[in-house]
């Protein structure tokens, strides 16, 4: 494990957090979930099989001094927090990690490719993530003992499908198809992201690297075909214009209506696709991640949602 055994996790209560904490603890990492004093977070039932010495919760104020103390003895910090101001709060977390002697830091990437200039132009809010990555790199350069790893995984396949974010309503059997629906995009199961973090902690070749992972490259039309096959009937399809969605999203954000963020992300995902993963850049082999067929991914997602 490269001497890495103690992992502090911030943001365990979000869409991704439970999957990451579970995989870390199952792999034998002593995992501490850091939460604010006022947080109502509790361990999910899915973590009941994990022993107490491998998974614990620690309350901590999120100022630099308190976080530095909380990170004492921790080898790794994994951050999975929200957008905007919350993303920028990682500067304090990074400073505390460097002071505490943390050896590896995973910033809150876990989505679109923030190294893409086109993504940053199409989804301006993503600039906050890019700023944090630059800050982390500068901090690591000043503190050579601190290494970093960032993970770009495209869309969350399972959450995106079951929540309707990807444009499919599983209950109503309806689909919003953007453009032709043939634009390929990359997507990853949340459990796979947890496995990727575990693998990265065991492989020195992942230090100071921006890693690209994906379970599958598919399109809305391909996904719709599998869903219709499983349901045994055609779905009602509504066409969406990518440029209209992008314009509406930009207008909403200009009016401080942050629901426009989702429209911008989908316009990028289903438009040029520059915010997702370039297939020639995948680090799946480096991390020992499997390629999964679309039908199997849909089946696994549906089974877990029951």
To which residue do tokens 């995009």 refer? Answer: 185
Tens digit of each residue's pLDDT (9 = 90 or more) over 154-209: 999 999 999 999 999 999 999 999 999 999 999 999 999 999 999 999 999 999 99
pLDDT confidence tier of residue 49, bands split at 50, 70 and 90: confident
Residue 113 has pLDDT above 70, yes or no: yes
Mean pLDDT of the region 30-58: 87
pLDDT of amino acid 257: 93
Domain 6-154+188-212's class?
alpha beta
In the chain, list all ranges with CATH 3.40.50.720: 6-154+188-212
Q: What is the pLDDT of residues 211-242, one digit of tens each?
A: 999 999 999 999 999 999 999 999 999 999 99
Residue 143 class from Cβ within 10 Å (0-12 exposed, 13-18 middle, 19+ buried)? middle
pLDDT (average), residues 82-91: 80
- Which pLDDT value is given to residue 53? 72
Average pLDDT for 251-270: 93
Where, residue-wise, is CATH 3.90.25.10 in the chain? Answer: 155-186+216-276+290-305
270-293: pLDDT as tens digits? 987 665 666 568 999 999 998 899
The larger pLDDT score, comparing residue 81 to residue 273, is at 81
**How far, in Å, CA of 78 to CA of 128, rounded?**
17
What local confidence, expressed as pLDDT, does residue 1 receive?
47
CATH number for the domain whose boundaries are 155-186+216-276+290-305: 3.90.25.10
Residue 125 to residue 236: CA distance in whole angstroms: 32
pLDDT, tens digit, 9 for 90 and up, residues 131-161: 999 999 999 999 999 999 999 999 999 999 9
For 63-77, the pLDDT digits (tens) are: 999 999 999 999 999
């Amino acid at each position: 494990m490269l001497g890495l055994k103690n992992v502090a996790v911030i943001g365990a209560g979000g869409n991704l957090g439970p999957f990451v904490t579970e995989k870390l603890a199952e792999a034998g990492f002593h995992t501490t979930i850091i939460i604010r004093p006022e947080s109502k977070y509790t361990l999910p039932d899915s973590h009941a099989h994990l022993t107490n010495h491998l998974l614990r919760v620690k309350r901590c104020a999120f100022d630099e001094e308190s976080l530095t103390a909380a990170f004492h003895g921790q080898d790794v910090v994994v951050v999975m927090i929200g957008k905007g101001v919350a993303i920028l709060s990682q500067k304090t977390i990074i400073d505390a990690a460097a002071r505490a002697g943390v050896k590896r830091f995973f910033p809150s990437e876990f989505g679109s490719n923030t190294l893409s200039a086109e993504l940053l132009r199409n989804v301006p809010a993503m600039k906050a993530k890019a700023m944090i990555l630059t800050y982390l790199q500068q901090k690591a350069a000043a503190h050579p003992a601190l290494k970093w790893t960032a993970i770009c995984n495209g869309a969350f396949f399972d959450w995106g499908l079951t929540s309707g974010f990807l444009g499919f309503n599983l209950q109503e059997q309806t689909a919003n198809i953007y453009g032709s629906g043939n634009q390929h995009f990359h997507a990853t199961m949340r459990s796979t992201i947890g496995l990727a973090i575990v693998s990265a902690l065991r492989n020195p070749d992942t230090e100071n690297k921006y890693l690209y992972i994906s379970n599958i490259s598919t399109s809305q039309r391909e996904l719709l075909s599998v869903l219709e096959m499983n349901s045994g009937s055609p779905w009602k399809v509504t066409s969406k214009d990518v440029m209209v969605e992008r314009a509406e999203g930009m207008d909403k954000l200009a009016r401080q209506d942050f629901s426009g963020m989702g429209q911008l992300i989908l316009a990028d995902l289903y438009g040029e696709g520059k915010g997702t993963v370039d297939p020639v850049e995948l680090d799946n082999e480096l991390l020992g991640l499997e390629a999964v067929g679309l039908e199997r991914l849909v089946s696994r997602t549906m089974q877990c949602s029951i």
